């Protein structure tokens, strides 16, 4: 077990070094942040002076080693644009994104489960056909288009919902939350719908097909034969077993959803990590970009490593395979 642990940690460190290296290589070739900082009028000599101050003139490897050294101590550098430590900026933008993802996930769960089950039980029913047809449309419209359509219908034409931003937020021990004010919730509705628009149809279809498969199995047929009430067969016997693959896919999709937030956040001026990242790219705020990549990479690597180690404890087969 000890050897396995050491090996896994060494692997994790290698991965982090590589992520840092890739991030840094992008940074080096990405563009000149000084141009955005100093405007276009500044003479090349003055620009060089700023670059020198920021340490951008040092050779690639020097900058990389310095970055790694600082990163180990938890310092991911300063965001050029925000003039604050990059990590602080990322952390301050996180609540917005997390709340958005949370709400969309809720929408997806609350709608996809009943609709999916219904479409599986009564595949020929008009409602099922409608749901399935609508889901094809849902999957094929890009998120940003859905978002703009929503804004035009509900904000511009009907005037029911606010068109941008997070609205009023409350401070919960440093967490700026929009979940506890009426205004904040009103602002959440459209972005959450837009974000869930891609995943929701996917889940309905997934639940439906899994459920239909399960309904064909022997033990369900046996349950029918025993004369158990339909509701109990569907929910307890069939749906419970549908759930496993759905959760499996759901976990993977949740990660993908974080990526889709970039589009949603940009259209709704939702000040989360997604719009922060895309803006840092536009501004060539390379420090912030790299910090974001490295931090996300770091969390994924840590979690993966811990999970692997726990697996190793629980299931010795993993260790043996790993040793080979």
Question: Based on CB atoms, which residue is closest to other proteins, 42 or 228?
Answer: 42
How far is 100 from 191, CA to CA, in rounded Å?
7
**DSSP codes, 195-224:** HHHHHHHHHHHHHHHHHHHHHTSHHHHHHH
Query: C-alpha angle with apex 266: 165 to 286, nearest 5 degrees?
Result: 115
* CA proximity to 101, closest of 31, 198, 170: 198
Residues within window 76-105 making contact with other proteins, judged by CB under 8 A:
78, 80-84, 88, 91-92, 94-95, 98, 101
Distance from chain centroid for Cα 263: 11
Among 282, 313, 316, 320, the residue binding other proteins under the rule CB under 8 A is 282
Tell me the closest approach of the beta carbon of residue 279 to other proteins, in angstroms.
Answer: 7
Among 15, 139, 212, 245, the residue binding other proteins under the rule CB under 8 A is 245
| Torsion, Cα of 275, 142, 144, 96 (10° steps) | -40
How far is 69 from 64, CA to CA, in rounded Å?
9
Tell me the closest approach of the beta carbon of residue 42 to other proteins, in angstroms.
Answer: 6
Residue 180 engages other proteins in binding (rule: CB under 8 A): no
Among 155, 179, 202, 209, the residue binding other proteins under the rule CB under 8 A is 155
Residue 276 engages other proteins in binding (rule: CB under 8 A): yes
Q: How many residues of this chain bind other proteins (CB under 8 A)?
A: 79
Are the C-beta atoms of residues 61 and 149 closer than 8 Å to each other? no
How far is 252 from 243, CA to CA, in rounded Å?
14
Among 57, 217, 248, 321, the residue binding other proteins under the rule CB under 8 A is 248
Residues within window 111-140 making contact with other proteins, judged by CB under 8 A:
none
How far is 286 from 76, CA to CA, in rounded Å?
11
Residue 52 engages other proteins in binding (rule: CB under 8 A): no
Question: Based on CB atoms, which residue is closest to other proteins, 42 or 132?
Answer: 42
Question: Based on CB atoms, which residue is closest to other proteins, 225 or 314?
Answer: 314
The CA distances from residue 168 to 25, 158, 271, in Å, are: 40, 22, 13
Among 116, 191, 250, 312, the residue binding other proteins under the rule CB under 8 A is 250
Residue 307 engages other proteins in binding (rule: CB under 8 A): yes
Question: Based on CB atoms, which residue is closest to other proteins, 151 or 223?
Answer: 151
Among 129, 300, 313, 321, the residue binding other proteins under the rule CB under 8 A is 300
Question: Based on CB atoms, which residue is closest to other proteins, 227 or 251?
Answer: 251
Q: Is 230 exposed, middle or buried (0-12, 13-18, 19+ CB in 10 A)?
A: exposed
């Amino acid at each position: 077990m000890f050897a396995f642990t050491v090996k896994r940690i060494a692997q994790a460190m290698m991965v982090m070094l590589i992520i840092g290296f890739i991030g840094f290589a992008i940074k080096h070739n990405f563009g000149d942040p000084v141009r955005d900082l100093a405007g276009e009028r500044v003479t090349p000599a003055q620009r060089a002076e700023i670059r020198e101050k920021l340490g951008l003139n040092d050779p690639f490897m020097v900058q990389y080693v310095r970055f790694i050294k600082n990163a180990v101590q938890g310092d991911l550098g300063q965001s050029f644009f925000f003039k604050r430590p990059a990590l602080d900026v990322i952390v301050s933008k996180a609540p917005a994104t997390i709340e958005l993802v949370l709400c969309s996930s809720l929408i997806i769960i609350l709608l996809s489960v009943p609709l999916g089950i219904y479409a599986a039980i009564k595949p020929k029913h008009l409602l099922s056909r409608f749901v399935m047809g609508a889901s094809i449309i849902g999957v094929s419209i890009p998120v940003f288009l859905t978002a703009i359509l929503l804004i035009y219908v509900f904000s511009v034409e009907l005037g029911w919902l606010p068109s941008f931003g997070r609205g009023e937020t409350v401070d919960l021990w440093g967490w700026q939350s929009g979940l506890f004010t009426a205004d904040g919730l009103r602002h959440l509705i459209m972005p959450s719908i837009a974000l869930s628009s891609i995943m929701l149809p996917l889940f309905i279809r997934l639940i439906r097909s899994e459920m239909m498969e399960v309904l064909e199995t022997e033990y369900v047929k046996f349950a029918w034969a025993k004369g158990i009430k339909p509701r109990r067969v569907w929910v307890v016997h069939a749906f419970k077993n549908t759930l496993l693959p759905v959760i499996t896919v759901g976990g993977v999709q949740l990660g993908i959803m974080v990526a889709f937030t970039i589009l949603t956040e940009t259209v709704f001026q939702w000040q989360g990590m997604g719009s922060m990242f895309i803006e840092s790219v536009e501004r060539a705020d390379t420090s912030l970009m790299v910090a974001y990549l490295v931090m996300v990479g770091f969390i994924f690597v840590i979690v993966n490593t811990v999970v692997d180690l726990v697996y190793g404890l629980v299931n010795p087969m993993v260790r043996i395979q790993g040793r080979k």
